[in-house]
Amino acid sequence: MNFETIFLEKSDLQKFTMFRTLVTNQTQSLSITDLAERLTLSYQQSYNVFQELTRDLVTLSGEPVGKIKQSLTDGAALSLSVDDYRLFLLNNSIAFQFVDYLVQGTQQSVSRFCAEHYISRSTLMRKTAMVRSFLAGFKVKISLTQATFVGDEKQVRLFLQLFYWLSYHGSRWPFRALDFTRLSKQYQALPTADSNPITASQERLFWGVCRTRMSRGHFVTLNAAFSESVPQGVCSTTAVYPSKPNPNVPQAALDAETIFFYFFQQKTIRFSAPNPDTVKMSRYLEAINSPAAQLVAGLPEAVHDHSTGTPSPDPFDYPQLHANLMRVAASFYLMGGNFVKQSDFFKPSLPNYMQKHARQTLSQYIDSLPDDPGFAAFKRAKRPLVEMLFYLLVPYLRQFQWQETVKVKLVMETTDTVNRNIIDFVRNLNVVELLSDDAPLEDADLLVTALDDFVDPGALAALPAHIAKFNWYLDATDGDYRSLFETVYNLFHQKLIATGN
């Protein structure tokens, strides 16, 4: 479920979608008719949405109506970003304001909130239906009698971090009771502070969520797996929380908060080389034979057994992939199953990468795990776990030669330097398996041919009808490359549709 779909009403969602379409197509001049077609609206609906969008942008930017309209329709650069407009709409959203009120409001009550926003209780229920439905998937409820979150505090924290991050993207500090400058200095003093500015911004935001929730009496409770999975001395309570929020908070509660903050730092997927803390954590999980480490250790064999070739080099030897697999497995294990994560708020434009064979392989692997309490979390959350593992493996699927890749054979002189560009182009398409020179023509999904020189037209005519042919010329233009690209991806989509779940 998309983040904007959860928090924006239908009319605002239409305006946001139109604005994003215009901004991402600034090199083109889009008419009202073009927008109607792209957004699946009638001409009149598209016109009305465009007029409302223009009024919003005038309010937000202070620029004249004529200049805004010209920028939108002529493909000129706009001074406002998609993030700017999203936040503008969110600040006028009842669902967004109510969640923020539950976090930061004073003397919280549903009646008070409804009175301040001139809405009825039934209107509040209707406008928050999407966010309440989303949270219900993680066994968290929004109580409309007590004006609070009810459920696992760990899930609430992870949700709120993403709620504020996807709303603000670090452009503003959302917490009114916490001084940003002071908290930033304290974060930089942490032994586990991250040097990457984006990661640091996300961790500061999560720390702000934790401190705000703690100040209002909400503390996390951890199962035994957390204490068993974190090596002694790796995180210091006095460094993270040098002073108690109030004298009545037990030290055990602060210790649990410290471990959970460290967990958040370690669980974030990264595509840079693993830092020493991550390496230390992975080795510790392997040393204690954690169920998370066992799951990751068995994954290469399961995948290799179900792929049609042995990749070289083996992607499972890549430190980044191994570290991310450990992060995902450990997160599901420690959270006792599924948990709120950023991927829950987005839908990939490709049909969920629905390579059936790859997904079934991962699903069967999870089913094959021992019927042991340590693996129960993986089996309980099999579908989201498979989804996360699958996304991590997507960049490497070509190396495993899954059946859903498009098998391309170049029927031309592949040792000729003249054809080097087309060879490199095809090899760099992630959904393609380039067949060898001596592979039979019948094995291909697509033949890229230089017809006059390298193949008998009669041989082509005798091939099965499902094998596509693409004629290639030595003086190929950018248009030829684009046409080949579209041909490959059309074939790929046909395979996804044929084998998708």
Beta bridge partners of 409: 447
Cα atoms in the Cβ-side hemisphere of radius 13 Å centred on 73: 15
So what's the pLDDT on residue 501? 46
So what's the pLDDT on residue 394? 79
So what's the pLDDT on residue 454? 54
- Name the architecture of domain 405-499: 3-Layer(aba) Sandwich (3.40)
So what's the pLDDT on residue 245? 65
Q: Which among 125, 134, 121, 155 is positioned nearest to 5, based on CA atoms?
A: 134
pLDDT in tens, 107-133: 899 999 999 999 999 999 999 999 999
Mean pLDDT, the chain cut into blocks of 10 residues (501 residues total): 93 94 77 90 95 93 86 75 94 97 94 96 96 97 94 98 95 94 94 91 97 94 90 74 76 91 93 89 95 96 75 83 96 97 79 63 94 96 94 76 77 68 85 86 88 63 84 83 91 75 46
Distance separating alpha carbons of residues 382 and 332, to the nearest angstrom: 10
The model's pTM: 0.80
Supply the angle between the helices 197-215 and 180-188 in degrees, to the nearest 10: 120
Domain boundaries, the chain: 3-86, 180-264, 276-399, 405-499
The distance from CA 308 to its chain's CA centroid, rounded to whole angstroms, is 29
Looking at this protein, which amino acid is placed at residue 395?
Answer: P
pLDDT in tens, 276-297: 889 999 999 999 999 999 999 9
Both tokens of residue 10? 């239908």
The distance from CA 400 to its chain's CA centroid, rounded to whole angstroms, is 23
So what's the pLDDT on residue 258? 92
Distance separating alpha carbons of residues 19 and 283, to the nearest angstrom: 47
